[in-house]
């Protein structure tokens, strides 16, 4: 069973994502900030990360950058979640190597199908 890491500092958003992923049949791990997210990646070894950008401490961009720099985890699929709707940020995220970029508020169905598609792609 694939494992998804949800990183966000808003408890209610984490709650909703956790529910959605579990419903879709994934194992879910959560983290509230960048540092614990990095720790989780090492401990729980997720298959995909839903990563919020504005986190306290290390930002989502930093987490993304560090993971992409690490050869072991460089191919880990990552979907960025953000409340910043600006085009610049989207481009920055994609440039840093995010697999997808989803703006809050998002469509739950679209999110779930994106996650599934990405996981299927990496399985091949």
Partner 1 sequence: MRTDPVILSVAFGYLALLFVVAAWGDRRAEQGRSLIGSPTVYALSIAVYCTAWTFYGSVGRAAEHGPSFLLIYLGPTLAMLMAPLLIRKMVRIAARQRITSIADFISARYGKSSSLGALVALFALVTITPYIALQLKAITVSHAVLVNYPDSADTSLVDEAFWMDKSFWVALVLAVFIILFGTRHLDASERHEGMVAAIALESLVKLIAFLAVGIFVVFVMFEGPGELFSQVAATPELAQAMSLESVPGGATGWVGMLLLAFLAFFTLPRQFQVLVVENVDEQHLKRASWLFPLYLLAINLFVIPIAMAGLLLGGLSGDPDSFVLTLPLSTGSEGLPLLVFIGGLSAATGMVIVETIALSTMVSNQLIMPLLLRSKRLHLGTKGELAGWLLGIRRVAIVLILLLGYLYHALIGDAYSLVTIGLVSFAGVAQFAPALLIGLYWRGATHQGATLGLIAGFMVWAYTLLIPGFVQSGWLDAGLINQGPWGIGWLRPYALFGLEGWDIYTHSLLWSLLANVGLLAGVSLFTRQTPLEQTQAALFTEAMNPNLQATSLWHGKTTQGELRELLSRYLGMPATRRVFAVSTNQTTTSLSPTLDDNEQPASTELITRAEQALAGSLGSASARVLINSVVRGEALDLESILSILDTTSQTLEYNRRLEQKSQELARIGEELRGANERLRELDRLKDEFVAMVSHELRTPLTSIRAFAEILRDGENLPDEKRRHFLGVIVHESQRLSRLIEEILDLARLESGRLTLNPQPLDLAHLARHSVDAIARLQENRGVTLKMQLEAEPAPIIGDPDRLEQVIINLLDNAGKFADDTAPEVLLRVYRHKKHYRLSVEDNGPGISEDERERVFEKFHQIQQHEEEKTRGRPKGSGLGLPISRGIVAQLGGRLWVENATSLDGASLIMELPEAPPKEPASSEKPIAT
Task: By CB under 8 A, name the binding residues for partner 1.
Answer: 9-13, 15-17, 19-20, 23, 32-33, 35, 54, 56-57, 83-86, 104-109
Quick one: 9 or 97, whose CB is closer to partner 1? Answer: 9
As a whole number of angstroms, the distance between CA 64 and CA 79 comes to 10
The greatest distance separating any two alpha carbons of the chain, rounded to the nearest whole angstrom, comes to 36
| Smallest separation, CB 70 to partner 1 (Å) | 23
| Smallest separation, CB 80 to partner 1 (Å) | 14
Quick one: 73 or 103, whose CB is closer to partner 1? Answer: 103
Neighbours of 102 (CB within 10 A): 18
| Smallest separation, CB 21 to partner 1 (Å) | 12
Quick one: 27 or 35, whose CB is closer to partner 1? Answer: 35
| Smallest separation, CB 55 to partner 1 (Å) | 10
Eight-class DSSP state of 6? E
10 Å CB burial of residue 110 (0-12, 13-18, 19+) is exposed
Spatial contact of 96 and 68, defined as CB atoms under 8 Å apart = yes
Quick one: 19 or 74, whose CB is closer to partner 1? Answer: 19
The alpha carbon dihedral of 98, 99, 103, 108 has a sign of negative
């Amino acid at each position: 069973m694939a494992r998804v890491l949800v990183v966000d500092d808003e408890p209610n958003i984490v709650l909703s994502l956790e529910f959605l992923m579990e419903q879709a049949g994934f194992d879910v791990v959560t983290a509230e900030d960048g540092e614990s997210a990095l720790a989780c990646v090492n401990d729980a070894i997720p298959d995909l990360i839903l990563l919020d950008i504005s986190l306290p401490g290390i930002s989502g961009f930093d987490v993304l950058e560090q993971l992409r720099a690490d050869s072991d985890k460089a191919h880990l699929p990552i979907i960025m979640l953000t409340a910043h709707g600006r085009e610049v940020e989207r481009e920055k995220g994609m440039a840093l190597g995010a697999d997808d970029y989803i703006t809050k508020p998002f469509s739950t169905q679209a999110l779930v199908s994106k996650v599934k598609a990405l996981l299927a792609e990496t399985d091949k």
